[in-house]
Amino acid sequence: MLKSYGQIRSIQYLRAVAAISVVFFHVSEAYDLGFKIGASGVDIFFVISGFIMWVTTEGKLMSPQQFMSRRISRIVPVYWVATIVTVVLVAVKPQFFFDSDPSATNFIGSLFFLPLIKDDALHPVVLQGWTLSYEMFFYLIFSVSLLLSEFSRFCFLLMALVLIVAVHSQLPFMYARVFAAPMILEFAAGVIIGRLWTSNFRIPFHIAMALVIGGVVLLVISALLPDLERLLRWGVPATLLVIGAVFAERERGSPELAFMRFLGDASYSIYIWHVLTAVVVTAILLRIGVPHLALPLLIVAGSLGLSLVCYAVIERPMLRLMRPRAKTVSE
């Protein structure tokens, strides 16, 4: 019997690892500690997203409107709250947000996932929110695919994403070029893994674990290849981690780690709120005179703690309000 993605413990654990890796990356970046591979958490999220979208819709009758309504209710409310709070805090304490653009144009653009573009990259008010623009772009393509039969849908998704990337450099419109970045193929990788999963495909346990180990090794090696295209540098290892983890679990199960599952459930809030909460924690620590060397780890811990509070008091109530019949576990 096939599991739903929410029952696949390894996916929840990977979501937790991905979110915490990004937190470490941003704190490391602020203190020039060199933990750049933490940014690969985004790529893990993209692969997982493709996997989840396929698994949660396979074999179900769902219209594009229903699909987009579910995704918007899941993503938008928390993101809008974070964006509004950030704009307010930038107005109050601009010295803590040197890289944030709270202008009216960027504020409105950020709310609708079309923020300002600087240096060929998206720069929303919530800085890490650039990934949500890619998520929403993928959701739009995925919603169109729901008009097709299952096999045609699978082929359409892969061909659409590949073709978009293929014409990346030829697109005249700036937003089109940005959204056609090769990293969107990580969603395609997740879709492929999802289809294999729902087809009851199996990989021997030792091979699946070798894929996980290979993914970790490639991530470590990626530190030596800073100029390599992101899709190869972090997308390939992320894909190996996801496919190895889910199929290893299919063969031998996965231990129940309640706290890691909780962190996986809270991963969206951790991702959305951690920069803002890190600013708050940093201000508090500087005010009470914490030694400089102790700051990075304390900021990580404090940021994670406050982000979990945001999950409990903002995201979960919003999920219950928007989708009262849905489980509180995020999709």
- Cα distance between residue 162 and residue 167, in whole Å: 9
Mapped to the 3 state alphabet, what secondary structure does the chain carry? Answer: CCCCHHHCHHHHHHHHHHHHHHHHHHHHHHCCCCCHHHHHHHHHHHHHHHHHHHHHHCCCCCCHHHHHHHHHHHHHHHHHHHHHHHHHHHHHCHHHCCCCCCCHHHHHHHHCCCCEEECCEEECCCHHHHHHHHHHHHHHHHHHHCCCCHHHHHHHHHHHHHHHHHCHHHCCCHHHHHHCCHHHHHHHHHHHHHHHHHCCCCCCHHHHHHHHHHHHHHHHHHCCCCCCCHHHHHHHHHHHHHHHHHHHHHHHCCCCCHHHHHHHHCHHHHHHHHHHHHHHHHHHHHHCCCCHHHHHHHHHHHHHHHHHHHHHHHHHHHHHHHCCCCCCCCC
pTM: 0.94
Q: How confident is the model at residue 327, as a pLDDT?
A: 44
Q: How confident is the model at residue 27, as a pLDDT?
A: 96
For residue range 57-102, list pLDDT tens digits in order.
998 889 999 999 999 999 999 999 999 999 999 988 887 887 788 9
Token pair of 162 as six digits: 């590949």
Q: How confident is the model at residue 6, as a pLDDT?
A: 53
Q: How confident is the model at residue 99, as a pLDDT?
A: 79
For residue range 160-178, list pLDDT tens digits in order.
999 999 988 777 778 888 9
Q: Along the chain (331 residues), what's the average pLDDT of each consecutive run of 10 residues?
A: 64 98 96 93 98 94 94 95 95 82 94 93 95 98 96 96 89 85 97 96 97 97 92 97 98 94 97 95 92 94 97 94 53 48
